[in-house]
Amino acid sequence: MSNAKLPSTVRKSKGDDIVVSGNQDYVTMTIADQMFGIPVLQVQDVLGHQRITRIPLAPPEVAGSLNLRGRIVTAIDVRLRLGLTGRPKDKPGMSIVVDLRGELYSLMVDSVGEVLSLTKEDFERNPATLDPRWREVSTGIYRLNGQLMVVLDVPRLLNFTTIETA
């Protein structure tokens, strides 16, 4: 991961001025063998396996809450949010902590990969045929070498009012 981070930080100083370059940095992750990405600036932390307190009566996607250096973080099982089956018990998984309007959420994924810097040319809108549940939480797709990366829209991923209707 460290080798990937270096260029990204270099680029950030450039990109901070104006986003003309069209390059965006994404933290990648894998869920059920599919690669996803979240803009690096939205990511606060990457965690390994954590002890989670279950929250009774919460929506099924809410796995529970955990203590991150004194702040209570709500853990979201992204698999369930995306309409996939729950993670097998024997795999510990990892979490990406994001901030949404001052609240911290930990997105539970299978694994977290490197940070990629991607150009606009490889970006594409969601195919119209994509599962509506995925289309709902994704802003688009990046064509990478050998695989596709789905860009997750964090606010929409955490907008639980849409879940009930879905």
Partner 1 sequence: MDDLLSEFLTETNENLSVLDVELVRLEQNPNNPELLSNIFRLVHTIKGTCGFLGLPRLEKVAHASENVLGKFRDGELTINPEAVSLILQALDTIKSLLAVLEATEAEPPGDDLPLIERLNLCAEGKLGASAPAAPAPVAAPPPAAPAVAAAESRPATLDELEALWNSIPGPNDPPPAPAVPASTAVVARAPEPVEEPAPSQDLVVPDAEPVAAKMPAPVAPAASGGNSGGADAGAEAATKESAVAAQTIRVNVDLLENLMTMVSELVLTRNQLLQILRSQKESEFAAPLQRLNHVTSELQEGVMKTRMQPIGNAWAKLPRLVRDLAHELNKKIDLQMLGADTELDRQVLELIKDPLTHMVRNSADHGLEIPAERVKAGKTETGRITLNAYHEGGHIIIEIQDDGKGLAIDRIKQKAIQNGMASEGELASMTDQQIIQFIMKPGFSTAAKVTNVSGRGVGMDVVKTNIEKIGGTIEIKSAQGKGSTFVIKIPLTLAIVSALIVECAGERFAIPQISVVELVRAASDSEHTIERLKGTPVLRLRNRLLPLVSLQQLLRLDDSEDAKKPADETFIVVTQVGTYTFGIMVDRVFDTEEIVVKPVAPILRHIEMFSGNTILGDGSVIMILDPNGIASATGEMAMGEAAGKETTAVQTQRQEDKMALLLFRAGEGAPKAVPLSLVARLEDVDLATVEMSNGLPVVQYRGKLMPLVPIDPNFVVASEGRQPVLVFADGDRSMGLIVDEIVDIVEEKLNVQLAAERPGLMGSAIIAGKATEVIDAGFFLTQAYKDWFGSSAQEGFEEEKLQRVLLVDDSPFFRNLLTPLLSVAGYDVTAVENAGDALALCEAGEDFDVIVSDIEMPGMSGFDFAEAVRHGSRWQRIPMVALSSHASARDLDRGRIAGFNDYVAKFDRDALLFALQQTLTDQKGAA
Residue ranges that bind partner 1, judged by CB under 8 A: 51, 53-59, 62, 64-67, 69-72, 74, 101, 103, 105, 158, 160
Residue 35 or 163: which CB sits closer to partner 1? 163
Taking the complex as a whole, how short is the minimal distance between the CB of residue 64 and partner 1, in angstroms? 8
Which of 58, 136, 71 is CA-nearest to residue 97?
71
Residue 20 or 57: which CB sits closer to partner 1? 57
H-helix segments, the chain: 2-15, 78-81, 132-137, 154-157, 161-165
Contact 81, 163 (CB under 8 A): yes
Which of 116, 109, 115 is CA-nearest to residue 87?
109
Taking the complex as a whole, how short is the minimal distance between the CB of residue 71 and partner 1, in angstroms? 8
Other CB atoms within 10 A of residue 8 CB: 18
Taking the complex as a whole, how short is the minimal distance between the CB of residue 53 and partner 1, in angstroms? 4
Structure tokens at 9: 């930080």
Residue 21 or 159: which CB sits closer to partner 1? 159
Antiparallel, parallel or unpaired: β 71-77 and 103-109: parallel
Taking the complex as a whole, how short is the minimal distance between the CB of residue 75 and partner 1, in angstroms? 10
Taking the complex as a whole, how short is the minimal distance between the CB of residue 20 and partner 1, in angstroms? 28
Contact 73, 149 (CB under 8 A): no
